Each structure stands twice: as structure tokens, then as C-alpha cells.
Structure 1
Amino acid sequence: MLKKSHSLVALLVGSAACLAPLTAQAIQEQRQSYDLPAQDLGDALRRVAAQADIELYASSRDLEGKAAPPLKGDLTAREAIEALLKDSGLTGRFESASAVIISHEAVAPDAASADAGPIIVTGSRIAGAPAAAPVIQVTSEDIRNAGQADLGEVARSLPQNFGGGHNPGIGSGQGAPNENVNVNGASSFNLRGIGPNATLTLLNGNRFAYSGASSVIDVSAIPVSAVERIEIVADGASAIYGADAVAGVVNILLKPDYDGVSAMARIGASTDGGNVQQQYGLLGGKAWASGGLLAAYDYSRSSSIRAGDRDYAGASHPDTMLFPAIWRHSLLMSGHQTLGPDITLAADLLYKKSRLHSVTGYAVDVPPDQLGLDNVSTSETFGIAPSLAADLGGDWRFKASGFFGTDRTGGYSDLFFGGERLTHLDKHFFNRNLALEAGFQGPLFSLPGGDVRIAFGAGARRNDFFAGSLTGDVDRRRDNLFAYGELLVPITQPAQEIAGLHRLSLTGALRFEDYSDARGIVTPKLGIVWEPVAILRLGASWGRSFKMPTLYQQYSGYSAILGRASRYGTGYPETANIVFAAGPDSRIGPERSENVTLSAQLTPARGLELTAAWYRIDYRDRVATPVASLLGVLDKPLYAGLVTLNPTAALLNEIIAGSLLGLENSSNRPYDPATTVAFIDNRDRNIARQRYSGVDVSMRYRIELDDGRELALSAAGSFLKSDQQLLPGATWTPLAGTIFHPSRFRGRAGLTYGNERFTLAAFVSHMSGLDDERQAVPVRIPAYNMLDLTARVQIAKGTEVSVAILNLLNAKPTAIATALASETPFDTTNYSPTGRFAGLTVRQEW
């Protein structure tokens, strides 16, 4: 249900209007002469806002596809806006400092308290630009109805997202070691399973500090109580945002002008044992005529889940932790203030401190403190993102923004053998990110279909990274400069009343990036949006994207190893040796993709929205290790490009000198260049190719009932096909539908019923089965289904109690074969050991 601070998904409409305070007298009494033709409603509102010099807020989604009638006469701003909104299904709310446009469906008894905020458009730099690819929205109300405690849980519930990569539950022995790892308990989005650092995550449109070693954003650091909504564009967006947006972009938007105070407390636990959770939060905000301030604090703590509590984990020691113990403090502040009629200053600040503890036994019948690993990870993240926006007149706007952030990951790992601590290893990872950017946007000229609008800008970023290691520290910096331009060309608009061309628009973007350790990269993007009729929108987009390798992936160094040639090929004398190199290589460069998306959105009835999208991603130059096992590699023509026969002593000396530890001898005999018959270069390189394609479908239907009650239905599903070719000429192997990769289909459907006093919600999740092909005879892991129930009741004014029972039927992961007791005995990238979870939340608002 829509509530305070959520009854609007508010975006700023007027570029010229967004910075000037509005007085009650200006709205109610001051008259101006208007003479506007019939046109797009958003354009008409923008012109009224500019002429009246007022603050005007509205949802871009509410305005899309709506036409405004002609406007003529001497009118107050309020009269002009009300005339434009007539028969639009929208309502104006007028206050002493602003005018807010809302849908009739959103009007509630507390609508006068609803919030509005600055425009942040996901997937475009141009305010009001229609999206050629669908925008997936998850609102704060959706999160509360789902009983989710942090944004990591939100990410893992989305059908388009994959739980591999970075989440606190990733275990050991879970596929490729460089893909499914987590050094500090971070949570990240991982669209399509392409990789967590191939999905760009933003906070209020800004990049934030990388976490750990893999250049990802820890979304669990953001207090969920401060989030207004999450917008996801699952389409390549490097032409708009730069690197990392191969799979798409996730924009986490904060509540813009929250006015009040709220406190919450949550307790819960898994019914099978473990996972005892506590969460406490405070949210406070104050809005005034020229600005607002929001502050949120969140503390959470959860106990571990041990193998002895789960009947499918018999292959592990009972004290092995299937899910770590975690505690976390998070603090967020966000504010904005007008400095005059034409300038606004805003800033977001985020701080997080966390600790993770996990224990792994190396034998089923020996305690971990006798034979095992005790791991502690700590993380401290700080980031601040200020921005300055100015109205330049003529509907032109300027915005400058910056970011400074750091992330420190520490802790240790203690290895026990025979009851004694054999090794103590300290962890040291450090990220520092600095960014500066400035851009302009505004109209170039008018066409019958509306204003041709442009956005352009430039900026610079710096990423410093340090990782401590026994084999040598990694201390690297990457700088890059960039410039971008984006153009919106409206061909037709509803006011023209052209049959079959209710609305037609074209978009194009081009971005150039220059890196200190890579050549310049140009990424284009084209889009078209066509609405044959008001209820049907068709979109198509094509673009190229890229991702830089992480600094750890590129510069952490390789090993050079001496081995006996007889293990790597046949026909060599017993005295012959080989040298091979393996590991990260500084010569690797950007990974590149080509993305195509076709979409359709149908709104055949009030409250009903149907969306479908087909996508294809051709991902090239992926960094990979060429050969998983080098045994027999000299006999296979496929790998001839990796082999230098009869290498010179100079080449071998160069390889050995550049390695981390010099030549490591596994041959048990002296190194002699004269008896070294081959050099095998198995260092990581831009060599793999991956293909992703599939269909996303979704449905939302909101039905108004008597007595203010409402019934909301939602469903979403994602079909995915993906495969990989490790070397040119090699066989393509499937990814989706196999263990430690996304399933072929994931779906989630929900039903919500209630009013302002109570809400009941039920969600069903389904994931298709997986194939475990690690063994000679493949094993099928069956499909997985889960049912979640939540109930929220307002027991007094401002006091809400909610109960959540997640995974009501206690669906469990399927046990998998493991080679060692230390390997987690189920697929942690797709399943969780949480089981049935019951939680109670009390929330008080003032």
C-alpha cells in the first residue's frame, strides 16, 4: 500500500523550475499570460514551470504518453497546472514551497505528506527521456511486503539476478575460484550471472566505493529504511555510464524529502536452527522550503548456520559454518539545499563497519579447531558524493558532481593442524575511489514532436588499490578521463494525433574513455521508442559496452613453474623439462560486449501493466585461464598457440624474472635451459567468449476494492540461455542450467491485499533444475520452489507490527558431491541454508 514518503515516485519535471522556491502567494494569486498549443503533457508542465518560476515535481512514469490541451489566458500557476491536468488522471498538490503532480491512484489520506525529490533518470542523462529497455522497479513498499532486511536479500530475490559472485553465503569449492568468492561479507547485484563487477550499481545516480578485491559495490551497506526505490535497466549502458555496465545498471534511489522520525526493531531465526537475526534502525528527516536532510542508522547481527543443523550437510563437520556470523553498522546521510534561485547543493554520505566470522572443518570427524580454518573478515567503508546543480535559463541545466570513497578490508585466517595453530595470515585490501564530473543538458531546437534535447559532459576518475600478500603486495592505481554525449529526437507526440504514431522518438549516445593502462575506448548506443497507440510501447536498443579488468585480477602476479615434459606431452626424453606460467597477467585489457534488447509494454486497463523483453549479449575478450589442466597439453593442436617449442634462454629468463617467486621447481631436478623443450603460457588473457540470450516477462495489476482496500498482483520471470567458448576453435559449453551458474528459468509471483491499516502478502519463487556435470555421469538437481508470507498491521497511529514467514514449506538445497570435507556440500550460488525463517518487526513513526 502507498504510505507516507512513498505515495509518490517523484521526479523533477522542470529543469528551469527545479531550483526556485515557490511561495503560496505565487501559486494562488500571481497571474501570468499563457498561450500554449496542445502538446506532450511533460513539455507543457515544463514550460509552465519555467514561466512561473516554480518548483514542480512529478513521476516521469505518470506523465509518459499523456497529452496536454491548449492553454490560453491569464492564470495563476495553480490554475494553469490544473487546466493541463484535466482528464489526465493526475492531480496537483500545492504547498507553500512546491507543486507535486500525483496519480489519482496514489491519493491517500496522508498524501499531503508525500515526498518529492530531484530528478534521477536511470539509463539516460536526459530528463524525461523514454527508456528503450524496460525499467524494473522495486519500491520500499515492495521490500517491506517481501519481509526483506537488506538490499542483498532484495538483489538475490530478483529473477534477473544470480546469487553467485558476492554474497555472504558463498561457500568453498563453488566453481571458478575467481568468480564465486567473498572476502568480506559484501552483497552485490549480478545481473544474468555475467559477474558482479559487470553490473554497475549507483546510489542516487552516483558511483560509490569499491569493496574488497573484485571492484564491486556492497549494497548491504545502504540502510534499507532510507531507500525509496530501486531502478534496474538490464541492458548494456557503458555509453551512458562508462565501464562495468555490461549486464546493466542498478540505481538505488533514496527518499528525497522524508519529514519525520521512525524507529524499527526486528528479530527472527531459522526454525531448523541458527541464523538468529537482530536488526535495529532509526530514520529521521526534515524538509523545509529550500531543502531537506535525511539520516538513517542501521545495526544488524546474525548468528551462523552450522552443518550440524542441516540434514543435507553430512559431508561436512557439524561445526563447519554453512553461513557466517555477521554484524554490521551502517550510517547514511543525504541532503539538498538551494543556495539561491538558480543553484542547488546536494550530498550523500555513507559509512559502514562490519565483521564476518566463519569456521571450516577439513575433516568430517575432526573438530575445526584441531584441523580446519578460522576466518575473520572486517570491512570499513566510507563515501561522500556532493553535487552542484544550476539553472542556466532557457531550460538548460548544469550539474557538477564528485565522489570520494574508501573501503578497508582486514581480518585474518588461522589454519589449525593437530590441535595447534599452524599458520596465521592477515588480510589487507584497500580501495580508494575519486571521481569528478560536469555536464549540461537542455533543448537544441523544436520539432513538431517536441524539443530535440542533448546532454553532454566530461570527467575523470581515479582508483587506488592495495592488497597485501605473502608473495608480494599489489599497489596499483588506475586513472581515466571520459567524455560523453546523448541526444533525444522526438519524431511524433500524442498531440499531433497521427494514426499509428502516437509517439515516436530516437535516442543516441556516444562515450569515449581513456585509461592509464589501456587504449582509448569508444562505446555507442542507439534506441528507438514507438507507441503505435497510447496503451502499447515498443522499444529497441543496440549498444556496445566494456569492462576493465580489476586491478587485482591484472596485477597480482603470476607463477613460473618447472616441470617434467613427460607429464605435458608424449615422445619427449626423460631428461626433458618444460616451464609454464600461470596466473594474472598485466597484459590483459578491457572485456567488450555487444547488447541488443527488444521490448514491449502494454497497459490495456487501468492498473494493469504487461512487459516483455528479449535480449542478446555477445561478450568477447573475457579474461580467463586458457587451460584448466595442463596435463597432455603439448599433444593437443588446439593449444598450439600457447606453446613455444625450444624456447630461448633469454625468453625463459624473462618469464622467470617477472614471476612472483622466481622459478618454482616441481621437477625434482636442476633447471637447465638446454633441456627445457617448451614454454607453456597459461597466464590469464582476454580469450574467452560468452553468449547470453533470453526473455524477461513481468505483470503488475492493481485493483481498487471497497473501503480503500486494494489487491495487487505481480509476476516476473526470466528465461536465460548462456554458453562459453574458452579458446577460439574450442567447443562451446553451457553455463546457464549447470551447477554454480544461473538456472535456465527463475520466476517470482506475488499477491498483496489490504489497506492503510493492514497488508497481507504472499510470494512464490521458482527456480528450474540444474545439471551437475562434474562427474562422469551427470546428476540432475531438481527444481526449487519457495513460499513467503508476510502480514503488516497498524495497531495504533504510527505503530506497525509485521510478521514474516519466509520459505514457509522449508524447501532445502540438494546435497552435491564434494571431493573434500572443506567444500560446501550444496550449490551456495543458487540456494541458501536459511530454510524456514520467522521474523517479527515493530516500526514506530512520528
Structure 2
Amino acid sequence: MSRNLKAIPLAITQLITAGAFSAAFISPAMAQADAQAESPITKVEITGSFIRRADAETPSPVQVLTAADLKNSGYTSVADVLQHITANGAGTLSQTFSGGFAAGGAGISLRGLNDNATLVLIDGHRMAPYPLADDGSRSFVDISNIPFDSVERIEILKDGASAVYGSDAMAGVVNVILKKNLTGTFLSAEGGRATQGGGQTSHATITHGLGDLDKDGYNAYFSAEYRHQDSIRYNQRADGGTWQALDMSAYGGSNKATGVITPQNTAPLTLSPYFLNPNVTRVPGANNSAAFGFFPGSACSSYAQLASGGCAYDDPYKEIQPKTENINLIASLTKNLGNGWQADFKASMFESKVRLPQGFTNFPSAYGQQLEMMSGVPPHYLAGTAIPTIRVPANYPGNPFGVAAILRGPIPGAPDRNITTDSKAYRLVADVTGNWASWDIDASIGYTRNNLDRNSTGNLNVPALNAALNRATNPYLVYGQNTPEDMAAIFRNVSSYDTSELDFAELHGSRSVATLPGGDLMVSIGAETFKTKLSAPAMPNADGNTNGAYAFGSETASSAYMEFVAPVLKNLEIDGAVRFDHYSLAGNSTTPKLAFKYMPTDAIALRGTLSKGFRAPGPAENGNSASSGGVGSNADPILCASGYQANGQYPRGTVIASCNESLIGLTTTNPDLKPEKSVSATLGLILEPVKGWSTAIDLYQITVKDQIVGGPLSGTPVRNSPEPSDCADGNGGTYTCTPSVGRIAYYPATPINANSTRTRGMEFDTRYRFNLGDYGRLKTEFQFAHAFSYVMNIGGVAYELAGGHGPAGIGADTANPKDRAQLELTWEKGKWDVATTFHWISSYNLTDPTSGQLTCADGGTMNGIFPEGNTPEQFCKVHSFLETDLSAHYKLDKQWTFHASVTNLFNQAPPVDVSTYGSGRPYNLSLHSAGAIGRFVNVGVNYTF
């Protein structure tokens, strides 16, 4: 029986504890009668329209998460809540992915169209994006530094909205709405930890507000929130099962366990260093003891210990989730100005700190020529920076071989190697609303900024270490007392300061212009301008060279838009909008939208939308930026044109080092990029057969064209200047020669408008409130999202990705399951409020035709677990995952409320995914991290006075 099937009876038990069992004794007639007395589903002003209206049920599908929903989730961060919604899909980014370009940030990806196709707003306004782009190219708003306790609600518009909001809203909009009217003092404190160890969390908030808008004409409040989360290490989940296994040799795969000899690695990295004789050939499976020299008393002190597996260890630096810290400060003032006018001012600072361990600092065996990348200077290699072989001399203390030897393994005494990101998002916004000459006016001005401090500690300065190891006197010692001067020169702390800014001004007004049979014809017109600016310099290396990715750029956008709501009949409404945008770098875009809502009866409504959308290229795509990455190895077509001769020797003049060249691709920006364009459509049915019971079924299709992707590498490489090299003499020997051309530096590339993606799916949402009489009330909601297809077109070839693992290389290869579901059961009685939530993600397979994984045998290659195409049948399918969360609130009196929650109540382990990457373990950290974290218990108290 599968683990998921075993969880079903446990889930039923969970329903009993939540009060759901009581509902089984309510007859349908009784439930319907009770529902008649209930109020209909609360309707709010829906994101996606600037027109104020009594009927807020617009034609577009919208999900609303209230402050109570956030509390009942059992989580304490907005990012965790949003990444659990059923509309979130492939391309989502979490802070658990510590090795990404945008490490430290988190983003949401509606409909699986990536985090740059989802527009994130706060109080309806744009925020400055995270300074680091996802995968080095996609700008996104970091949802990890949004406050938790100051949120009034989150509105998630699941429809294209560029006709209203402009760029980035192709897949939808997430609008975080902060509280506006708070009186009194609110204190809260809570803490929790994973029952298997680690992850201890503390969370506290203090809020004080004074003045009532209705009575006093003003409200002002200040809120301070603090959240701290400890890391969870893999070695705290020692019995976690196959999902965290590094040794898959029992299944015919690779053994990636650290400190173990394998056929692929005859000199593994152990927990302590050792000497390796470069003059002794190591043969897989043979006794290679002559090549090894060990330090007595170290963790791995003999070849027998190494060969028997006694030097294996679980890397103490590898983490399931990182250590994080949040500080959120908000000051708000809302004042009635008279004659229906109101002003709202908000100033805030949201800070998110993340520590990302980088593992052991190991002795290097070589140091490649450094590619210097700096803004304003063409990328170039620095002559003389390469160190082909790093050895210690024959007379080095402890060297047993009498020849220059390699040092292998970690450097004892090296300081911890961490990258710490400290993101501070500043926001200052003023909104003024009122009525003038029959126009409802809304004017806004704001400035937002994200400052990102990145600090990297314990970085190895390889040239300095190499020089210190080879000093004739007083060399750097593996074990021993080294001078403070050596330590400071060899292990350096480096940092960078990245900033992202966005300032905006908006003005729009709406009014009735005519009376139609169904009511007033409302129109809205408006204009907006905003400017973005990005400064993200590369972080320097420990040796002072700068060769990381960088991005700089600024752009100004101006727009004008118009919207109408036309109740042409009492039961038929036609809506429309059109927006014109001008981007100083990306050009112009006009995006229209047309929608309808038809109610043949009070119990039935049909709705639909058809709209266009766009996404303007960001600074990392059309500004001033560059990023590099390895693209494999090959022979230089000029310097190693013929390869081996029949006699097994290289032809004379061959530059030997160029016969197995490690190739680098360098991507720079493309000023000629066009915006991505989309066409989206929704068609929905809303049923309310009885009051209190609402069901919505929405079909959607989104087609995105001219998607911006990394372009192909140029066939003509950029070369270094010719320099003396070791060349073959044709007889097995070498001589020094200077070839006519230099060695390959890199192959250039730029992003291009190439791919297209079309996704089709269905979303189902039904909710009902049972009146249980003396047993209280039970509120139920079930949401289900299904993808019919997810087709990506590359080079004219269409690839179906729904239910598979692709597209690879995007957002930690998040995979593309077809189905996600969520069932919420909330029982309320007197002072008690108990909620149970089930999050379910369907299974998917390992295929990804975009990267050549057409069958299960092709799978497993993403992280090299099954490199020979021998993936066992049992791993061809990644099984479904069910997470069960429980929360309870008890209101003792008007002042005191106690609460407790358990996420992943049944400690469900993540399913095995041998094709993912990002964690280094065979599980999908983007979809199943809750399973790796395990059962998490949280308790807290609120006090109001």
C-alpha cells in the first residue's frame, strides 16, 4: 500500500478532530435550511478593476485570502501561504533553493508561467523587484519580505490583467492589501519547531492604533513584526528514507555520498584532508593505497578506512531550509479631509535576512584563468591568472611521497563559508480619494526601493593559498598554527550592494455616464507613470577579481487606460478595458480586454473574459548585464583540429590544453528585444443553488508568444590573445609554441524572442457553511486545479509538458504536475475555531522533451543519479503528496486568544524525485519541502487591549 493510501484513514481521523464528523449527522434538507439563514459569501472589491461598484463579483475569477485564512494556515509567512495555493505552478521560487541566481528571494508563478508573468502589488501599487533576477534574467517581487500580521487580505486575480495594470500581469495578479483602520493595542507571540528537530521559529508582533475613521475622522497605527526561523539540516533527518539518499547504487545508480570511493570518483572529498600522489595512476576497483597519504589522528586516517566506507559522512552544512529573519515596520495614517475626501499615508520597511551555507572550503587542485566582468568594460580574461596545477612541494611537512603532491579535502581551521542576504524593502505611498464633479477620484504617488546587502564569508583566495603552501620557509600548514596575516590574506570576506527602485504616480477617475436597462454605465479613465532603476554589480572573488553576473538599467513607463462596466440588461453585464503603455526601452504596447457576466437566474451565472497582455523586458534582458556559465567540454576546432593520429599521438602544433576545453557561454543583453505578448481567455460557471453554497468552475487558456529566452551560443568564439603554450611535437612529446590564435575565452550569446507557451486548464471551487446547531458551524471549501495541457514551442517544435518534469532549467526544475487540490474545513463553536487543511499535489513522470528526456530511461539525468539511462521503473513516476495541516484558536475573553497549529500533521515524507536538482537530494524542493521539514508544531498567544 502506498504512503498516500495509508494516509487516508489518518486524514479521516483528522476530520473528526476538526469537528467535521458532526456534519455527517446533518441531513441535506436540514443543511439547506440552515444555509438559508446564512449570509452569502462575503463579497469584496475585486482586484482587476478601478471602478467602484456595489456588485463586486466581476467576470474574472478571483481568490481571496483573508487575515483569518492566513492565521488558520498554520504558517507564519506570506510566502509559505502563497506557495501552497492551487494556482501556483512551475517556476515558483522559494528560499529553500539556496543555489539559485536569486538566492534569498521567493516568487509566485500563477499557472506555471514563471514568476515574472505574475504581477505582485501592495495596496494596488507596484513594488520594486528583488535586485537579483531569477535564473539571471527574470525580475520578480520578493514575497518573503511581505508582513504577515498587517495583511487585511490577499486578492489573487487568476486572469490576464495587462489591460488594467500593464506589464507583467499575463498570468494574473497577487494584490496584498494592508490593514487600514486599527484601534487599540495588539500583542502576539508564538513559537514552534519541527518534531524531528531543527527549524525553531519565533514570531512576535506589536501594533498600536488610535482614532476611529467613522467617529474621529482619522486612524493612525504603527506595527512592528519580528520573525526568526532556524535552519534544518539534512543530518537532522538521518532516517528520512530514499528521498534524501545520496547512495543510489543499490538501484543501479550513482553513489554521491561524500567521503566514499566510487568508480566515478577514486579520490573523494573526505571530512579531513589527505595527500594524493599525482604520479600514481588510480584504477577504479583496485587497491590504490600507494596514491594516498593521510594525517595521523584525522577523521579519515588510513586507506583501509577510506576503502571500507569508514570515511563517509553527512555534510553538516547541507540544509533543508535556511536560517531566516524578518523585521517589518509599518506606519499608517488615514484621515477624512471632509466633503467625502480621504487621504491615506503609509511608510514601511520590510526586511528579510537569509543565511545560505556554502559548504566546506576544500583544497583546490587548479585555478582557471579569470574572466573579468564589470559594467562598462567588455568581458575579458586576465592574463597570468590561471594556475594549472596546485601542489605542495616534496619537502612539505607531512608529505610522504617525496614528490610534489596534491592536497585533497577540506582545509582545517577555515572559517565558515556563508552567503548572507539582507533585503530591505522600503515603501512610502500617499493615496487621496474623493469625489469631484460626479467623478470618483483616486490619486497616488509613491516611492519603493529594495536594498540588498550580500556578504560572503570565508572565501578562498586561491593564488594567496598557493603561494603560502609553496613558501620555502614557514609555509601555510594544514594542521598547525598559521599567522593572522596568512589567514586574513587566504580567507576573505567579500560583499556587494544591490539596489532596485520604482517610483510611481497614478491618477484615475470613474463615473456614471448613462443609464442602461440594468443600471448605470460606469466608465473609468486614468494615467500612470513609473520609473525603475536597477544596480546589481557582481560580487568580487576573494582574489579581488570580479567575474559574477551583473545587471544595470533604468526605464520609464507611461500609460493611459480606459475601462467601462455596462449592465446592458438586468442579468447581463459587459465589461471592457484598454491600456496603452510606452516603455522607454521596449517601445509601445496596446492591450485590450473584453468580459461578460450573464445571470439567467439568481442561482446561475456565466462569466468570461478575453484579453491581451504583455511583459516588457527587464534590465537583465535589455539593459546592461552579463552572466556566464559552463556549457560543456570540447576540442578547439582550430588549436586541436585533428585530434589523435592513427598512432595515438596529437599532430605537431596541437595545443594540448585545447583538446578538452571547458567551454563557457557568456550571455549579455539584447537591446532589440520585443515585449512578450499574451492572449488569455476564461469561461466560467457560478452556481448558488441555495444561500451559503457557491460553486465556481472556470476554464482558462493562456498563450504567451515571443518569450524571452537565452539565445544560442555563437559559432564563433571570443578568443584570448595568443600566448606561449605546450604544443604536441607529433611524437608524444611537447614543445613551447605560440599559436596564430589564442585559446577560446567564451562563446557569446544574447537573449532572444523565441519560444511560445500555451497552457489550458480548469479550476473548481465550491464552498458551503453547515449550521450544526448546538455543535456550532462548519465552513467547508474545496479547490481543485487541473492542467489539460502545457505546450512549449521551441524552434517550431511543440512539446507537451503537463504531467511531466519540464521545462528543465527554470526555477530549480520545479516540475509540472497536472493537478493540485486543497480542502479546508473550519469548525466554529463559541470560543473555539478549529481548521483543517489538506494540500494535495498529483503525481508526475520524469519526462521532459525540452531537454531530451522522452522516456523514463532518459530521466534521472538532471542531477546525474542515473547517468546511463537506467532509471528503475519504481522511480519513473514521482508519487502524489498529501500535506495535512491543523490549527486551533481559543478566545478566552476579549483580551486573550490562544492558538496552536501543526503543519504536515502526519509527518508525510516527500516522494522520491530522481530528476530534480537544487537540493542535491532526490526530492523536489519546490513542491515537497513540507515533507522534508516534517511535522511542525507552533503555539502562541494574542493579547488585545
Calculate the TM-score normalised by the size of structure 2: 0.67
Number of matched pairs: 692
**Does residue 836 of structure 1 match 2:935?**
yes
1:745 CA drift (Å): 0.8
Aligned to 2:323: 325
1:359 to 353, 357, 360: 357
Q: For 1:799, give the aligned amino acid.
A: W
- After superposition, give the CA deviation of every residue in 1:192-222 in whole Å (9 maximum; x if it has no partner): 2212221111112111222232332233333
Query: In terms of mean alpha carbon deviation, does 803-812 or 723-732 score higher?
Result: 723-732
**Does residue 536 of structure 1 match 2:604?**
yes
SS in 1 for 2:315: coil
**Does residue 701 of structure 1 match 2:768?**
yes
Q: For 2:782, give the aligned amino acid.
A: A
2:530 to 461, 467, 484: 461
2:198 to 270, 274, 291: 274
Structure 2 CA distance for partners of 1:706 and 1:681, relative to 1, 3 Å: same
Aligned to 1:760: 834
CA contact (8 A) 2:147 2:328 kept: yes
Whole-angstrom distance in 2 between the partners of 1:281 and 1:671: 68
Structure 2 CA distance for partners of 1:331 and 1:338, relative to 1, 3 Å: same
Structure 2 CA distance for partners of 1:145 and 1:565, relative to 1, 3 Å: closer
Structure 2 CA distance for partners of 1:562 and 1:535, relative to 1, 3 Å: closer
Identity percentage of aligned residues: 23
- After superposition, give the CA deviation of every residue in 1:315-370 in whole Å (9 maximum; x if it has no partner): 36133122111111101233321222142211222212232112133699959986
Matches within 5 A, 1:473-488: 474-488=551-565
CA contact (8 A) 1:562 1:665 kept: no
Whole-angstrom distance in 2 between the partners of 1:680 and 1:613: 46
**Does residue 606 of structure 1 match 2:668?**
no
CA contact (8 A) 2:802 2:816 kept: yes
Aligned to 1:348: 346
CA contact (8 A) 1:236 1:245 kept: yes
CA RMSD, 1 decimal = 3.8
Whole-angstrom distance in 1 between the partners of 2:814 and 2:112: 10
- After superposition, give the CA deviation of every residue in 1:494-518 in whole Å (9 maximum; x if it has no partner): xxxxxxxxx1011111111111111
CA contact (8 A) 1:403 1:434 kept: yes
CA contact (8 A) 2:429 2:446 kept: yes
**Does residue 814 of structure 1 match 2:911?**
yes
Matches within 5 A, 1:286-301: 286=210, 287-288=212-213, 289=215, 290-301=217-228
**Does residue 134 of structure 1 match 2:211?**
no
- After superposition, give the CA deviation of every residue in 1:600-655 in whole Å (9 maximum; x if it has no partner): 1111112111111111111111121245xx7xxxxxxxxxxx65xxx7xxxx8xx7
Matches within 5 A, 1:674-693: 682-693=749-760
Aligned to 2:566: 489
Whole-angstrom distance in 2 between the partners of 1:162 and 1:301: 27
**Does residue 426 of structure 1 match 2:495?**
yes
Aligned to 1:304: 231
CA contact (8 A) 1:723 1:734 kept: yes
Structure 2 CA distance for partners of 1:802 and 1:670, relative to 1, 3 Å: farther
Structure 2 CA distance for partners of 1:374 and 1:607, relative to 1, 3 Å: same
Aligned to 1:168: 95
Aligned to 1:66: none
1:169 CA drift (Å): 1.3
CA contact (8 A) 2:631 2:665 kept: no
2:170 to 246, 255, 259: 246
Q: For 2:944, give the aligned amino acid.
A: E
1:391 CA drift (Å): 0.5
SS in 2 for 1:192: coil
Whole-angstrom distance in 2 between the partners of 1:702 and 1:663: 78
**Does residue 737 of structure 1 match 2:812?**
no
Structure 2 CA distance for partners of 1:685 and 1:794, relative to 1, 3 Å: same
1:702 CA drift (Å): 0.8
1:447 CA drift (Å): 1.3
Whole-angstrom distance in 1 between the partners of 2:633 and 2:762: 50
Whole-angstrom distance in 1 between the partners of 2:797 and 2:666: 20
1:121 CA drift (Å): 3.5
Aligned to 1:596: 681
Q: Which has the higher strand share?
A: 1
Aligned to 1:255: 179
SS in 1 for 2:163: helix
CA contact (8 A) 1:582 1:684 kept: no
**Does residue 586 of structure 1 match 2:670?**
yes
Structure 2 CA distance for partners of 1:265 and 1:580, relative to 1, 3 Å: closer
1:400 CA drift (Å): 1.1
- After superposition, give the CA deviation of every residue in 1:130-188 in whole Å (9 maximum; x if it has no partner): 4212111111112222222121111012111138543211243xxxx6xxx5333x333
Aligned to 1:549: 617
Whole-angstrom distance in 2 between the partners of 1:562 and 1:324: 29
CA contact (8 A) 1:561 1:665 kept: no
Structure 2 CA distance for partners of 1:665 and 1:693, relative to 1, 3 Å: farther
Structure 2 CA distance for partners of 1:251 and 1:666, relative to 1, 3 Å: farther
CA contact (8 A) 1:688 1:726 kept: yes
1:398 to 441, 453, 456: 441
- After superposition, give the CA deviation of every residue in 1:270-303 in whole Å (9 maximum; x if it has no partner): 0111100000012232323323223322101011
CA contact (8 A) 1:370 1:416 kept: no
CA contact (8 A) 2:839 2:883 kept: yes
Structure 2 CA distance for partners of 1:842 and 1:265, relative to 1, 3 Å: same
CA contact (8 A) 2:780 2:826 kept: yes
Aligned to 1:789: 886
Query: In terms of mean alpha carbon deviation, does 775-784 or 292-301 score higher?
Result: 775-784
1:216 to 116, 140, 156: 140
Aligned to 1:80: none
Aligned to 1:34: none
SS in 1 for 2:82: helix
1:377 CA drift (Å): 1.1
Structure 2 CA distance for partners of 1:581 and 1:437, relative to 1, 3 Å: same
2:421 to 377, 385, 395: 377
Whole-angstrom distance in 1 between the partners of 2:527 and 2:912: 51
- After superposition, give the CA deviation of every residue in 1:378-435 in whole Å (9 maximum; x if it has no partner): 11111011111221143x2122111101111112224656987656442321011110
Whole-angstrom distance in 2 between the partners of 1:753 and 1:382: 39
**Does residue 124 of structure 1 match 2:193?**
no
SS in 1 for 2:356: strand
Structure 2 CA distance for partners of 1:447 and 1:672, relative to 1, 3 Å: farther
SS in 2 for 1:356: strand
Structure 2 CA distance for partners of 1:826 and 1:686, relative to 1, 3 Å: same
Whole-angstrom distance in 2 between the partners of 1:560 and 1:788: 41
**Does residue 716 of structure 1 match 2:716?**
no
Whole-angstrom distance in 2 between the partners of 1:618 and 1:837: 39
Aligned to 1:202: 121
Whole-angstrom distance in 2 between the partners of 1:231 and 1:484: 22
Whole-angstrom distance in 1 between the partners of 2:916 and 2:166: 41
Calculate the TM-score normalised by the size of structure 1: 0.75
Aligned to 1:497: none
Q: For 2:427, give the aligned amino acid.
A: G
1:376 CA drift (Å): 1.1
Structure 2 CA distance for partners of 1:813 and 1:425, relative to 1, 3 Å: farther
Structure 2 CA distance for partners of 1:372 and 1:844, relative to 1, 3 Å: closer
Whole-angstrom distance in 1 between the partners of 2:633 and 2:885: 57
CA contact (8 A) 1:760 1:791 kept: yes
Aligned to 2:456: 413
CA contact (8 A) 2:822 2:840 kept: yes
1:227 CA drift (Å): 1.7
CA contact (8 A) 1:183 1:212 kept: no
1:261 CA drift (Å): 2.1
Structure 2 CA distance for partners of 1:736 and 1:208, relative to 1, 3 Å: farther
CA contact (8 A) 2:722 2:742 kept: no
Structure 2 CA distance for partners of 1:597 and 1:667, relative to 1, 3 Å: farther
Q: For 2:441, give the aligned amino acid.
A: F
CA contact (8 A) 2:340 2:435 kept: yes
Whole-angstrom distance in 2 between the partners of 1:154 and 1:162: 14
